[in-house]
Amino acid sequence: MDCIGRTVTVPKDPQWVAPIYAPSAHMVAMLGDSEKIVAVTQGNKRDLLFLDIYPSIEDARTPTGGGSTNVEELFVDPVPDIIFCDSPLSSDAKMMEQIEKFGVPLVVIDFRTMAEQKYAVRLIGEIMGRQEKAAEFCDNYDETFALVTERTADIPEEDQTLVYHSINELLRTEATNSLPGEWIPQIGINLVGAAEVDEEGDGKNRISLEELMAYDPPHIIINGEDVYDYIEQSEQLHTLTAYKNGTIYLLPYGITRFAHTNSIETPLAMLWLGKTIYPERFEDIDMNEEIKNFYSRFFDTELDDEMVEQILSGRGLRSIKERESPL
């Protein structure tokens, strides 16, 4: 069964795959089949380290963009043997009707919890014949989560550090029914402004500027260079406690954005956030070594100190897509 419970018959040992949901492309490549990828999202081609590690993806088609899919481009040669997509595409009856004419099985990859993310990895591993690598990744995931939660388990709720997570826009923050919305509170962190979002809506949780100023969190983690730079330029935001104390952090960016809603680097995000917010509890954790080991183990690539430093800086590893405003 795929990630939304659909029973799908898939070919054994598919030779060409179209992971047109960004996280599924990361998973297929990580498990060892990057050269079988014939189509990806436009977003995948903005992940510069991803392309550097898996250069064949540069040649993959990008039939999705702006919320639509070009079916004709999806099925030009080489035609995929299987498609990995997200749940919104599978619920688009008109689009599904067009795709089904080609007789190519479509597997939905979707996750909002740690268990669901691991299931997605194992599912792709099973389909691609990469079960061992998928199991190794999931075991590391569980071991890392156990380590981080053990280090923070004795923090009383009233003493948990308040953290605001800015996601792509300054005033967009964490949804409680999301992957990081599940694991971050379990490592002794109180996510201010977090709320459940309507899955039928745009899946985003937004607050007002007045609410952010009222929360005045002691720590802010930011997913997006432009938002960080906007804060640096805004005198009003300089009154925030986190700005005054120098505790506004740009999230690391490797293949994906650490602590993002669909990041394949969730285990690294757990270690980084735990060490950033509670450094005294993670003194023995060397993020330089953790990142090098993770990439060597799961992406079969050896990173030098300069690249690790760039990953930790959160800058320069995603090509810019223009937005009207960082707010």
pLDDT of 74-106, one tens digit each? 999 999 999 999 988 888 888 888 888 899 999
What are the structural domains of the chain?
A: 17-129 (3.40.50.1980), 154-313 (3.40.50.1980)
What pLDDT sits at residue 326? 57
pLDDT (0 to 100) of residue 93:
87
Over residues 260-276, the pLDDT tens digits come to: 999 999 999 999 999 99
pTM over 0.85: yes
What single string gives the DSSP state of each residue in 26-51?
HHHHHHT-GGGB-EEETTGGGBHHHH
For residue 277, the surrounding DSSP H or E stretch is helix 266-277
Mind listing the pLDDT tens digit for each residue in 238-263?
Answer: 999 999 999 999 999 999 999 999 99
Look at residue 238 and give its three-state secondary structure.
helix
- The list of the chain residues with pLDDT below 50 reads 322-324
Q: What is the mean pLDDT of the chain?
A: 94
Gyration radius of the chain's alpha carbons: 20
